[in-house]
Amino acid sequence: MPQDHGFPRGRRGIHAKLNSTSVRADPTPCKLNIDEMLDLAKPQNQTANSPEICSYSRWDSKNYSCAYDAVFSILCCIWSTNPHKWNKIFRGLNPEMALLANGFQKLLSGNITLEDARDRVRTQLHQLDNQKFKWGTHGTAASDLAYMMFKKNNGAEIWSHCNTCQLRTQGFGDDYMYVIDSPTDLQHSSTSQVLQAVMNQKQHPTCNQCNQSTDYGLQTPRLIVFHIPKHKGILDKKIRLKGMNECNTVLHLRGIVYHGNFHFVSRIVTNDKKIWFHDGILTGSNAVVEANITNISDDYLTHCKGKIIALAIYAQK
């Protein structure tokens, strides 16, 4: 049966890897927060019909699939907003995400179902780790799935800035930096605060030039996942991340995975700000509109039909 447990795999130091791969970067001014500009420039009606192309995955009663159904339905909705862009991003993360994107592409062409796309990735995950990703009725932990799907092979891109000698560098952190594994003492914090605290807890990279500790951050992440079991704090609708030269990346809340009674379900936030509920058993290949994200109470998203938060997924638009 699925348990939502996590492993402290995201807490590794990033010092050695940054030092060996960093390059000098020009301290040129930011291109006027390009993500925010694009966000503002987007016509309102451009994304209004996004729910029609979202697909939702049905639960497999022989090979319990609820963790996959919940996470992949959210990823499918993100992918379907711009398949060309997201194919590239998914492929850049790891082979399992690349295979999932390939499955979504086949789904769009009508060649396979979302359940087929899911099971192709399940097969590959099972080959990689047949204990965490079992067939049958054992269930899979959503956190284990998140670590595999949001892993950035060869390291997440980070920037660093030395406050002593002002050297700015770009480099690579560890492979799991897009998985934000929240400590339990931050259960009542907002997701922005969790992200900041988790980044501060990691060992800061050392400056190549003067050996002092530097400020650092994620460089334009496209997709991150919070592993925040039993989280009770606010799930920010938007998270702004400071980049090199003050360029901001804006990540939007796109989905939440909930856990309870040995089952995972999800809520999906579409570009038209609607919140959809999906349960691979109850709603199957459909989802149900629940609310609009602009007029919900602060604690609305912290629980869902008696279930508690397991994961929250944020993505760029």
304 near Zn ion, judged by CB under 5 A: no
Q: Mask: binding to Zn ion, 99-138, rule CB under 5 A, as x and -?
A: ----------------------------------------
Shortest distance, position 208 Cβ to Zn ion, whole Å: 7
- Of residues 210 and 282, the one with the C-beta less far from Zn ion: 210
Q: Burial letters for 232-258: b for 16+ Cβ neighbours within 10 Å, e otherwise?
A: ebbbbeebebebbeebbbbbbbbbbbb
| Piece of the chain touching Zn ion by CB under 5 A; list 29-37, 60-68, 163-171, 221-229 | 163-171
| Concatenated DSSP letters of 129-144 | -TTTS-SSSS---HHH
Please state the φ and ψ torsions of residue 158, each to the nearest 5 degrees: -130, 160
Size of the site for Zn ion (CB under 5 A): 7
- Of residues 37 and 165, the one with the C-beta less far from Zn ion: 165
Alpha carbon separation from 166 to 114, 158, 160, 211 (Å, rounded): 49, 16, 10, 12
Identify whether the C-beta of residue 156 lies closer than 8 Å to the C-beta of residue 177: yes
Interacting residue with Zn ion among 46, 130, 164, 292 (CB under 5 A): 164
- Of residues 128 and 165, the one with the C-beta less far from Zn ion: 165
Shortest distance, position 209 Cβ to Zn ion, whole Å: 5
| Piece of the chain touching Zn ion by CB under 5 A; list 22-30, 60-68, 201-209, 276-284 | 201-209
167 near Zn ion, judged by CB under 5 A: yes
Instruction: Say how many Å lie between the first and final Cα of the chain, rounded.
Output: 34
Interacting residue with Zn ion among 16, 37, 210, 281 (CB under 5 A): 210
* Three-state SS at 240: strand
Interacting residue with Zn ion among 121, 162, 244, 257 (CB under 5 A): 162
Sign of CA dihedral 102, 106, 108, 113: negative
Shortest distance, position 14 Cβ to Zn ion, whole Å: 16
Interacting residue with Zn ion among 37, 38, 165, 288 (CB under 5 A): 165
| β-strand partners of 170 | 23, 159
Sign of CA dihedral 271, 272, 276, 280: negative
- Of residues 30 and 210, the one with the C-beta less far from Zn ion: 210
207 near Zn ion, judged by CB under 5 A: yes
| Piece of the chain touching Zn ion by CB under 5 A; list 2-10, 91-99, 157-165, 282-290 | 157-165
For 183, counting Cβ atoms within 10 Å of its Cβ (0-12 exposed, 13-18 middle, 19+ buried), the class is middle
209 near Zn ion, judged by CB under 5 A: yes
- Of residues 24 and 42, the one with the C-beta less far from Zn ion: 24
| Piece of the chain touching Zn ion by CB under 5 A; list 60-68, 118-126, 154-162, 219-227 | 154-162
Shortest distance, position 24 Cβ to Zn ion, whole Å: 12
Residues 89, 95, 100, CA angle at the centre, nearest 5°?
Answer: 70
Identify whether the C-beta of residue 25 lies closer than 8 Å to the C-beta of residue 244: yes
Cα–Cα distance for residue pair 192/143, rounded to 1 Å: 19
- Of residues 39 and 215, the one with the C-beta less far from Zn ion: 215
Lookup: tokens for 131: 């204990």
Lookup: tokens for 33: 């927060």
Shortest distance, position 238 Cβ to Zn ion, whole Å: 32
Shortest distance, position 113 Cβ to Zn ion, whole Å: 54
24 near Zn ion, judged by CB under 5 A: no
Contact residues: Zn ion, CB under 5 A = 162, 164-165, 167, 207, 209-210
